Amino acid sequence: MGDVEHSFEPTDRRVRVRFGGTEIAGTRRALLMMGGYKPPLYELSNYYFPREDVRQDLLVPSAHRSHCPTRGEATHWTVSAGGREAVNDAWSYESPPPGWEGIRGYVAFSWNAMDAWLEEDEQVFVHPRDPHHRVDALRSSRHIRVLLDGELLAESSRPCVLFETGMPTRYYLPRADVRMEFLSETGTRTQCPYKGIAGYFAATVAGKRHEDIAWTYVMPVPECPKIEQLVCFFNEKVETEVDGVAEARPATKWTTGIPERDLV
């Protein structure tokens, strides 16, 4: 069920969502909508709940309607709990077009408008983890050099190479192999459902400051322990050499900055 960029499938995980100090929905029969931050919808993955597993007493009918080019018109509700409101942040497709009939009777919530999402008893950040999305962190002896404006920032023959579905290869380097005197911590924090919360570094070279050019996971999620405390530079913003060969800079959503939706 779905289209070229998005699909729905059932999940066996117990899924719950909280708002205003209240569990507003909880089910073992969720549908996982999987998608990417791509045109025309620019929509991340989300969970859809059977209506009978949603606290209907916490949904206030709204006159707001929205239209999806593939799923049709959505009816919206305002979520009201604990003295707070999430205006128009619950919705359902009452009359979906052919091919989408399976989502009739399900309710979805705006992910970032809610207080917390849980799979079983573990909190999930940013969006649900896609069961078809892999993150493999592999120790390697590749020789990595990172340069910026001709200055060597890091050199290592013991990287942890991270391969993630749909992402550029990333090289996580021990801090002992990074010239930390060029780096300073910034206040930027981002979340990844597969790796955890990342802190960022700026690099100052020849008097010029390059913001958020590298990052580290001080306490990654338990499923990704190998990258703990390592430093990774944006391939998009530095010159990266692997075994003596310069790599082309990838064009990604981070080329012009960190997308606001990824910020904590």
Q: Which two tokens stand for residue 171?
A: 């090289």
User: In this predicted model, what pLDDT tens digit does every residue of 3-19 receive, in sequence order?
Assistant: 445 678 899 999 999 99
Band (183; pLDDT cuts 50, 70, 90): very high
What are the chain's domains?
A: 7-124 (2.170.150.40), 135-262 (2.170.150.40)
Give the strand pairing for 196-205 and 183-192. antiparallel
Element holding 91 (H helix, E strand): strand 84-92
Kindly report the pTM of this predicted structure: 0.78
CB count, 10 Å around CB of 34? Answer: 19
- What is the mean pLDDT of the segment spanning 19-42? 80
User: In this predicted model, what pLDDT tens digit does every residue of 96-145 receive, in sequence order?
Assistant: 988 888 899 999 999 999 999 999 998 888 888 888 889 999 999 999 99
Q: Which pLDDT score, from 0 to 100, does residue 43 have? A: 58
Residue 41: is its pLDDT beyond 50?
Answer: no
194/45 Cα distance (integer angstroms): 13
User: In this predicted model, what pLDDT tens digit does every residue of 219-247 receive, in sequence order?
Assistant: 998 889 999 999 999 999 999 999 999 99
Query: What percentage of the chain exceeds 70 in pLDDT?
Result: 94
Q: Which pLDDT score, from 0 to 100, does residue 6 have? A: 64
- φ/ψ (deg, to 5) at 19: -155, 135
Please tell me whether residue 102 adopts helix, strand or coil conformation: helix
